[in-house]
Chains A and B, each alone.
Chain A
Amino acid sequence: MDVDPRQYEQIVLCTGRAINENDVHNIILSYLIHNCYKESSESFIACTGMKQPADHLENMEKRKRILHYALEGNALKAIELTEQLAQDILDKNKDLLFDLLSLHFVGLVCSRKWAEALEFAQTKLGPFGNELKYREKIEDFMSLLAYENPMESPMFHLISLDYRQQVADSLNQTILSRLTLLYSLYLISAYFNCPSHTAMERLIQQTSVVRQCLSLEVSVLHENGENCNFYRISLRNFV
């Protein structure tokens, strides 16, 4: 099948569904809300006439502060504010609670407060050790203590901004799903109940995966001598 880009429009219309502009608007809005763009969200809602209760935006400031604390490594503050926002949220998400506590531990290690770090690990992280999955993580974190310079440990990525970003993303997502539940925003919940990314990222990921599958299939076909015209475009070229 010759995939001429111009055929895309026909393909879409043939499947009986033109791309619904509401879906597109919601993709954009979900990105803005996810990333705490308050004024932009409000402006976009106004410019497109979308329906959006104000409550969701009200909590955005709070969420933004929580995420900033998490990214800075001030995990205790992040935990405190999160519990203010939605009380049982961390009780129901033990993985997330553990990750946040581990951030605090890392902070102590990096400030060379060894004794405090050890005590914190024993009192706060230790109790998680009853479950195997946490035990392994605890061991990873404890290994940071073995090095004068934690950056030299094989677990140095746990000190990185990337790791903090990961935890912050997870926190963001958990809060968003919880808030959505609280306000019964059925329409929006479809866009927010995703593990780690906004709808936008999921679309990009999907496209990459499908393209990869196709490239693979096509190369197999070529190997088998079959005729197959397919434009191999990288995401870069496309975007």
Chain B
Amino acid sequence: MMSESNGSSRRDQDQDQDLGLYFLETCKGREMKNKEEEEDEDEAPKELNTINSSGGFAVVSTDKLSVKYTCVNLHGHDVGVIQANKPAPTKRLIYYFEIHVKDAGVKGQIAIGFTSETFKMRRQPGWEANSCGYHGDDGLLYRGHGKGEAFGPTYTSGDVVGAGINYAAQEFFFTKNGQVVGSVYKDMKGPLFPTIAVHSQNEEVHVNFGQKPFTFDLKEFEAQERMKQQLKIEEISVPPNVSYGIVRSYLLHYGYEDTLNSFDVASKSTVPPIYIAQESGIDEQEITYALNHRKTLRQLIRNGDIDVAFGKLREWYPPIVEDNTSAICFLLHCQKFIELVRVGALEEAVKYGRIELSSFYDLPVFKDLVQDCVALLAYERPLESSVGYLLKDSQREVVADTVNAMILSTNPNMKDSKHCLHSYLERLLRQLTACCLERRSLNGEQGEAFHLQRVLGSGRRG
């Protein structure tokens, strides 16, 4: 017959399983590289599209990077317009490309800009809806109708003209010979194709999609764009007790008791004094729980003393290690195995693995880590192998963090078990990431994602 305590302990165990499993997942997470930037680069245009271009008026070179107008027709529907082979990639701050006007021909009616997929391929970019073009003969900007607006200088043979999309500002911008000419709001949605056009006899244009260095200093422009955002950000005042609170709660959460003690002593005499107002909103009660135990266990695990750690857990928090098939026990056993490999006691490791790890092989959640652990035995220099990450101190940290979270979860006053997983700092970082992604999503999925390194390195003064 199931008593109430049995039922609740099963529920607790399910919750505990969740907590332990979470850290298991982060093991794998650490190994993932930043795929998004690689994919974005893969999707960038590299050459001109010869398949859909207007027939007969212009000739594209064999390397698909230049175009020449060969006819004498100057009819408004006989434009030699070419799009890039792919639309501008969007998961970055700015997209940019350039043309070099080799020959302005008879009339210099060259254009550069962006067009949509369904653009009428016999018209200048900007003359039709959903297109935008900066024209060399009159220096006007055309945005969807036959009448252009004053924009910049004309351009001709020898000039290098660039067109870009600034996803942060949602603008098109154009450059001439390395200088920004101007920018306009981008109200075109959907994939945008870099587009160039020639329209009088002998006009010839070479395009640069990044295969060569640009005349325009794009990196500097990007840096300035980021700096603009950064300055806006720096205007926000942050009361000192907020960052103080986050740091203190970090130390509390992860059980850095010694550091915390030094911190508290030093904080009493800071100049000016930090007033810990109630409204900082940080609930320290939850994370002060079992501080000394957590500190001890973190130290033990950091030193690789898994046996002693196990012993302490059995003594202080038996429910955590009761179920030998729980994620936390699994992680501890794996770490013991890893520690044996670290000191070169391979025979003992094999024996230990047979006794304690074999039962985990069949469970899909644990299989990956077990396989990686066992794979360590296959290498003469395991540290240099693909599973070498297990031998690093960072793996000990994962186990230490898991134990830490499990102990916090035994706090009867813990309001939400999810609070055991992260300190406020990580929650702040995650919120920031989520908000940036959400903002990008509202921007039509255009722009960069959040990169912590970039934020931490931002505001760099030259």
Contact = CB atoms under 8 A, between A and B. Distances in A.
Interface of A: 1, 3, 5-9, 11-13, 15-21, 23-24, 26-28, 31-32, 35, 37-40, 42-44, 46-49, 67-68, 71, 161, 165, 177, 190-191, 193-211, 213-214, 217-218, 221, 230, 235-239
B282 A207 contact: no
Interface of B: 22, 25-26, 29-30, 32-36, 232-234, 236, 238, 242-243, 245-247, 250-251, 256, 258-259, 262-263, 265-267, 270-272, 279-282, 298-299, 302, 393-394, 397, 418, 424-439, 441-442, 449-453, 455-461
Contact of B434 (A3, A44, A49, A237): A3
Q: Which of B430, B441, B456 has the most CB of A within 10 A?
A: B456
Nearest to A230: B438
Given A37-B267, A42-B262, 10 more contacts: A16-B33, A20-B452, A31-B247, A38-B266, A39-B265, A194-B460, A204-B236, A206-B455, A207-B432, A210-B435
A15 B243 contact: no
Contacts of B270: 35
A217 B439 CA distance: 8
Contact of A1 (B35, B266, B397, B438): B438
A12 B246 CA distance: 20
Contacts, number: 198
Given A15-B449, A201-B238, A237 B281 contact: yes
Given A32-B247, A203-B429, A23 B435 contact: no
A114 B234 CA distance: 37
15 contacts: A8-B434, A11-B434, A21-B397, A26-B456, A28-B425, A40-B259, A40-B263, A47-B298, A68-B271, A71-B271, A194-B459, A203-B428, A207-B431, A207-B432, A239-B245
- Counting chain B CB atoms within 10 Å of each CB, the highest count among A19, A197, A217, A221 belongs to A19
A147 B369 CA distance: 74
Contacts of B397: 21
Contact of B32 (A18, A191, A202): A18
Nearest to B432: A207
Nearest to B38: A16
A127 to B, nearest CB: 25
A195 B234 contact: yes
A39 B232 contact: no
B456 A207 contact: no
A201 B234 CA distance: 9
B124 to A, nearest CB: 33
B456 A202 contact: yes
Closest 6 pairs between A and B when the two form their complex, measured CB to CB: A18-B29, A39-B262, A8-B430, A194-B459, A43-B259, A210-B435
A199 B258 contact: no
Given A68-B271, A194-B459, A16 B36 contact: yes
A177 B394 CA distance: 29
Nearest to A236: B281
A71 to B, nearest CB: 5
A238 B441 contact: no
A202 B459 contact: yes
Nearest to B37: A16
A236 B267 CA distance: 22
A65 to B, nearest CB: 11
A10 B394 CA distance: 21
B236 A208 contact: yes
A16 B266 contact: no
Contacts of B36: 15-16
A239 B282 contact: yes
A161 B272 contact: yes
Nearest to B229: A209
Contacts of B29: 12-13, 18
Contacts of A67: 271
B433 A15 contact: yes
Name the residue in B34, B233, B427 with the highest tally of chain A Cβ atoms < 10 Å from its Cβ: B233
Contact of A47 (B258, B430, B433, B438): B258
A209 B168 CA distance: 14
Contacts of B456: 23, 26-27, 190-191, 199, 202
A193 B429 contact: no
Contacts of A37: 262-263, 266-267
Given A214-B442, A230-B438, A197 B238 contact: yes
Given A21-B397, A43-B256, A193-B459, A207 B428 contact: yes
A40 B428 contact: no
A108 B282 CA distance: 42
Contacts of B280: 239
